[in-house]
Amino acid sequence: MSAQLSKALLATSAFAITAFAIVEAGRLHPEADAATAMIGVGGMTAITSSNGQGPDEQPFEVLYIIDNRTETLFVYGVDGGATPRLSLRGGASIPALFRAARGG
């Protein structure tokens, strides 16, 4: 693995952990509603959104991270259970996604 790719993966993981901490910190406020949130820092954008499942009081959320430098989309989800964990659900090249959407 190249040093540049390693740095990009490390930065993406750090950003994902930070975004997850922000999402979880929002749960500390008992009257907070689940909603879509977005933050962008240093060429990375994180977007949280409900995936439409789970109880109304605390729906399950998905974290989308866009790396603008590598034009890559990463999708993370929270695994339930006694100790919730953030896990990578998938990732793809954004240009490839647009090509596929256009039928190419």
Each residue's pLDDT tens digit, 69-86: 899 999 988 766 677 778
Segments forming the whole domain that contains residue 92: 3-101
Q: Which residue has the higher pLDDT, 5 or 34?
A: 5
Q: pLDDT category, 31, cuts 50, 70, 90?
A: very low
**Domains in the chain: how many in total?**
1
pTM of model > 0.75: no
Would the pLDDT of 4 be above 80? no
Name the nearest CA neighbour of 12 among 80, 88, 96, 84: 88
Which two tokens mark 10? 């490390």
Would the pLDDT of 93 be above 90? yes
Q: Is 74 exposed, middle or buried (0-12, 13-18, 19+ CB in 10 A)?
A: buried
Lookup result for tokens 């933050």: 39
Residue pair 72/61 in contact (Cβ under 8 Å)? The answer is: no
